[in-house]
Amino acid sequence: MNMRIVCPIRRRVRAGISPRLGCALLVLLVALGCDRHLTSDRPSTSDTATADTSAGAGDLSVSTDAADPWSDDDSTPDDAPTTDRDADAIDLDEIGSGDVDAGLGAPDGDVAKDGDDPEPLKAGVATVEITPIVGVPLAGFGGGKRRDLDVDKLLIGLEKNCVDPDPSTPYVMFNPSEGVLDPLRAKVLAVQSGARTLVIVGLDLIGANQELLVDLSIALKPYGVESRDIMVTATHTHSGPGALSIRRFWEMAAADCFNQGVYDALKAKVIDAAKTALEGRVPVAVGWRSGTIEGVQRNRRGKTGHFDNTLTVMHLRRLDDTPLATVVSLPIHPTALGESNMRFSSDLTGAVERSVEKQLGGAAIFLQKPEGDVSPVLPSPGVEGMLALAETIAARALELMPTSYSTSLPLSTAQLFYDFGQPFMREGCAYPGAFDLCGAFPDFELQLELTETWFPQRIPITVARLGPLLLVGLPGEPTTSVADAIRTALIDVGESEIWLLALVNEHMGYVTTSEEYIEGGYESIATLFGATTAETLKKAVLATLATLD
Q: What is the pLDDT of residue 363?
A: 99
Worst-scoring range by mean pLDDT, 96-100, 293-297, 488-492?
A: 96-100
Q: Report phi then psi at 191, rounded to 5.
A: -120, 125
> Domain-by-domain residue ranges, the chain?
2-43+423-450, 72-420+452-546
Separation of alpha carbons 417 and 222, rounded Å: 23
Beta carbons within 10 angstroms of residue 519's beta carbon: 17
Q: Comparing C-alpha atoms, which of 138, 141, 137 is closest to residue 38?
A: 141
Separation of alpha carbons 537 and 361, rounded Å: 37
Q: What is the pLDDT of residue 269?
A: 99
Give per-residue pLDDT as tens, 43-78: 333 333 333 333 333 222 222 233 444 443 433 333
Query: Which residues are registered as beta bridge partners of 448?
Result: 5, 425
What is the band of 244 on the pLDDT scale with cuts at 50, 70, 90? Answer: very high
Contact 239, 226 (CB under 8 A): no
Q: Give the containing element (helix H, strand E) for 497.
A: strand 497-501
Give per-residue pLDDT as tens, 415-471: 999 999 989 876 554 444 444 444 455 555 566 778 777 889 999 999 999 999 999
Peptide bond into 381 cis (omega under 30): no
**Helix (H, G, I), strand (E, B), or coil: what is residue 118?**
coil
